[in-house]
Structure 1
């Protein structure tokens, strides 16, 4: 069954990635694009300052951009993908859900709200049923599901594999994050060239809280967050795409470096159009993964890991994911596929 979909915030960096993923999607038909009032009424080719390395799909280029408002979005749209800034999302998304729209959102607002599922489908697909609690509590005909921050998405599938196999006590992570994660205007060339910035506002807190919610257990009524102690240090470096992360994981049971690698290698994927197989690609080489070489594994939707070694409390390793594909637009599309599979559309 094909579902009609729209993109909120279609002209931005993540919005353009959503266009890339949705225009050829086997189960979704892209019928609506929204943006700011300044862009509304223009053809998409004029409203979007296109930044990707292929042409705008011709059938999308001529679409008229709409206002991000329930009154301007067709009633028969089954699903909206949101790439709105969080300050706009927190204001707009609840109203759209109240109006009956189902929203799969990449925006950071409400990710840790008690009745909003925060989902990586391969990790915690059962959390999607928190939508039943949400609808009862809020009286919505629509629904709101979130994907986590791009840096969180990179490490959590690897942590889920370790937790399932050995138990997880504590996590320490240091990130080397690509400039595209800040958006087109987020970091100037004078700031980042020949440099590294050892602070990304709010990023550490997002990783520390979102990881525990994602790894938590859902009992049908609420999510009990995982009790692992998670601490993050986030750094911006001058790569274009691909977040590389150095992870130290303390485990409840002893595991060798090889056993940890095997746990990730064997962690299952899902039968969804955008879910890669394998979910985690494990390298034997000690100098992999690397952003330029490995960010497009699984069409940019795989997580890669390598450099495993044993520590006094568990294992240390490196992991990588494409931050605007797996970490943002692709994550929202995957959640949309899960919503369709579970009958929420």
Structure 2
């Protein structure tokens, strides 16, 4: 089965990562790349300042960029991946949805809308059932699915593993790579020899999205998880890979090895882009791992890596890491697209 896909906002940092990850995909065939009116009509290689560490696929380099409108996208496109800035996406995505397109979006708008699935396929695939609610309430034939923020998706799989011990409270401090801000998001004068102890909007995303992802769906409504989540988000001068220090309060009292085993044994999912093992865990003999430079590309950048697990007076503390532009952005949207196909929504 071949599914024709398009990328909305294909010339930006995340759009380029989409193109890299879709190259030679077993199911998805890239049929359309969109960008701003200024780029429309150009060859992709002319419109995009390519920055990914592999060459532009030849067939994509010569592809014509079209405007980001439903009329400009070929009729045979079955699925759209959105990497638009949230302010643009909030205006543009509804037009595609009303036109009947299915959109797997990395953009942050509407992630917390009660009728929009916010999905990590290994964690909450049943939340796709919200599509029926969405279509009924909004009156469109398309479907909108979101993946979470790049820092949220790093932590939530580990929290899902801990939930068997009664997850009550989470405190997290992040050390986030500069690629999370986009190529022009942080200047070299700001970040070299420095750390920025605030990332606008990031803390709220982690605090709210985590509870939605871990929430329960009864077929009609989604209830947020009742854990209390508080985040402090920091930008550091690494290129890729968000490292997070997590402190979790639990109702039960597992020892460190029980926590590590719960993380290692969290079930994966059989989809083309999914890692064989969702969470890789370092033992007590390697307390200095994970590290961004060494561990961000584990399982092609689609796995979460954890370590430094220790018990505390009310739970556990540990570190977790994921590649923020692969698992945390384009790869997450592609995996959601694969889930949509697997579950028959496309």
User: TM range, normalised to the smaller chain?
Assistant: over 0.9
CA contact (8 A) 2:20 2:54 kept: no
> Deviations for 1:192-251, whole angstroms, at most 9, x for unmatched residues?
000000000000000000000000000000110000000000000000000000000111
> Using the alignment, how far apart are the partners of 2:251 and 2:94 within structure 1?
40
The range that moved more, 144-153 or 70-79, is 70-79
Query: Paired residue for 1:247?
Result: 246
Ranges in structure 1 where 5+ consecutive residues have no aligned partner: none
Equivalences for residues 187-266 of structure 1 within 5 A: 187-266=186-265
The range that moved more, 278-287 or 317-326, is 278-287
The Cα shift of 1:277 comes to: 1.3
The Cα shift of 1:75 comes to: 1.8
**How many residues end up aligned between the 2 structures?**
344
3-state DSSP class of the match of 1:245? strand
Query: Paired residue for 1:19?
Result: 19
CA RMSD of aligned residues (A): 0.5
The Cα shift of 1:82 comes to: 0.1
TM-score by length of 1: 0.99
> Deviations for 1:145-200, whole angstroms, at most 9, x for unmatched residues?
0000000000000000110x211000000000000000000000000000000000
The range that moved more, 133-142 or 216-225, is 133-142
The Cα shift of 1:313 comes to: 0.9
The Cα shift of 1:270 comes to: 0.2
> Deviations for 1:64-115, whole angstroms, at most 9, x for unmatched residues?
0000001101122100000000000000101110001000000000000010
Equivalences for residues 39-54 of structure 1 within 5 A: 39-54=39-54
> Using the alignment, how far apart are the partners of 2:156 and 2:300 within structure 1?
19
Query: Paired residue for 2:294?
Result: 293
> Using the alignment, how far apart are the partners of 1:167 and 1:126 within structure 2?
21
Query: Paired residue for 1:333?
Result: 334
The Cα shift of 1:319 comes to: 0.1
Query: Paired residue for 2:121?
Result: 121
Q: What stretches of structure 1 move > 6 A for 4+ residues in a row?
A: none
> Using the alignment, how far apart are the partners of 2:50 and 2:342 within structure 1?
32
3-state DSSP class of the match of 1:297? coil
Query: Paired residue for 1:281?
Result: 280
> Using the alignment, how far apart are the partners of 1:206 and 1:325 within structure 2?
18
3-state DSSP class of the match of 2:90? helix
Query: Paired residue for 1:302?
Result: 303
> Using the alignment, how far apart are the partners of 1:140 and 1:253 within structure 2?
45
Equivalences for residues 75-154 of structure 1 within 5 A: 75-154=75-154
> Using the alignment, how far apart are the partners of 1:270 and 1:129 within structure 2?
18
> Using the alignment, how far apart are the partners of 1:323 and 1:222 within structure 2?
30
CA contact (8 A) 2:196 2:236 kept: yes
The Cα shift of 1:137 comes to: 1.1
3-state DSSP class of the match of 1:60? helix
The Cα shift of 1:16 comes to: 0.3
Ranges in structure 2 where 5+ consecutive residues have no aligned partner: none
